[in-house]
Structure 1
Amino acid sequence: MKTMETNVRKLFERYENISKASLRGDVAMDEVAALYASEFIAATPAGVMTGKNDEHLKQVLAKGYAHYRAIGTKAMEMRGLRIAPVDEYHCVAHVSWRATYVRKNQSDVVIDFEVHYLVQHLGAEPKVFGWVSGDEQTLLRERGVI
């Protein structure tokens, strides 16, 4: 279990670094896609979706990072990580994030939130195969970001 925990921590450190680079416009979609399993599931208050780690995912991710840059996202930092093992191959990684948004002629907006990632560790590196998150759009509207 210790190896899985160490590797999952490295996964999310990589995730954070890749996100920071993508927010700067240094988008490496192959690196982003490498964080995910071949198929995944996502659940938000808007519903549940499934997807494949393919060219379409890379396009969606690139569009997503472009959107985050357009709304003024200047930083995404991991504040904390708690790992809950399920078995020797799976865990839930509870990641606390802090996002900072720049607004014209106003002070920055800082929003703390959590995403719960489903992680599988079968090969050399763990992969995200799912996540559960809150209502991002409502939160951004309430905080005056969008």
Structure 2
Amino acid sequence: MNKKKIRSFFAEYERRFNDSLAGNPLDVDAMVADFAEYVVGSGPTGVMGGKNDESYREMIAKNEDHYRSIGAKYMKVKDVEVTELDDLHAAAKVYWDSGYEKDGKKITIDFSVIYILTFLHNEIKIFAFISGDEEKVLKEHGLMPEEKS
């Protein structure tokens, strides 16, 4: 396992995300290639999984549109903590600094995501991730509307 290679992997992930936020065309092929054939995610709404197929490609594009629509300006990797699990797997806790703009006001939010990685055929692929309650944090910062009861 090469920790430097993992950090470079997330630097490229960050670069592609920020290119899209800046209005450049999203490199969906490269984003999809970062993930394994099947991806599992866990967060406050539960555990979900799905095949990395056409619907996954559409979800990635929708996510980018969503971030731009709520005023996202950048996502920056602050740090990556890598834990080797075995010769073929690692967990990478990525600390993100995200910047938004709403009504002329700049908002920064720090958060982290744990990515579970596999190293098949000398390639890094994300096959699972664990995230916190992003929607709650975005609402707390006024970036998403509160639901009316």
TM-score range for the pair, normalised by the shorter chain length: over 0.9
Query: Hey, what's the Cα distance between the residues in 2 that align with 1:109 and 1:103?
Result: 8
State the secondary structure of the residue aligned to 1:145: coil
Residue 34 of structure 1 is matched in structure 2 by 33
User: Offset at 1:52?
Assistant: 1.1
Matched, 1:57 2:64: no
Matched, 1:21 2:23: no
Residue 73 of structure 1 is matched in structure 2 by 72
Moved over 6 A (4+): none
State the secondary structure of the residue aligned to 2:29: helix
What is the TM-score of this pair, normalised by structure 2?
0.92
Residue 147 of structure 2 is matched in structure 1 by none
Match for residue 116 of structure 1 among 114, 117, 124: 114
Query: Hey, what's the Cα distance between the residues in 1 that align with 2:114 and 2:20?
Result: 21
The AA in structure 1 aligned to 2:73 is K
1:7/1:125 contact within 8 Å kept = no
Residue 144 of structure 1 is matched in structure 2 by 142
User: Offset at 1:36?
Assistant: 0.4
Query: Hey, what's the Cα distance between the residues in 2 that align with 1:78 and 1:123?
Result: 26
User: What are structure 1's unaligned runs of at least 5 residues?
Assistant: none
State the secondary structure of the residue aligned to 1:85: strand
Q: What CA deviation, in whole Å up to 9, does each residue of 1:15-50 have, x standing for no partner?
A: 111111121232111010010011110000111000
The AA in structure 1 aligned to 2:20 is S
1:42/1:49 contact within 8 Å kept = yes
Q: Which has the higher strand share?
A: 2
User: What are structure 2's unaligned runs of at least 5 residues?
Assistant: 145-149
CA RMSD of aligned residues (A): 1.0
Query: Hey, what's the Cα distance between the residues in 1 that align with 2:26 and 2:15?
Result: 11
The AA in structure 2 aligned to 1:101 is Y
Query: Hey, what's the Cα distance between the residues in 2 that align with 1:21 and 1:30?
Result: 14
What is the TM-score of this pair, normalised by structure 1?
0.94
1:43/1:133 contact within 8 Å kept = yes
Query: Hey, what's the Cα distance between the residues in 1 that align with 2:20 and 2:32?
Result: 12
Q: How many residues align?
A: 143
The AA in structure 2 aligned to 1:89 is L
User: Offset at 1:5?
Assistant: 1.5
Query: Hey, what's the Cα distance between the residues in 1 that align with 2:100 and 2:37?
Result: 32
User: Offset at 1:124?
Assistant: 2.3
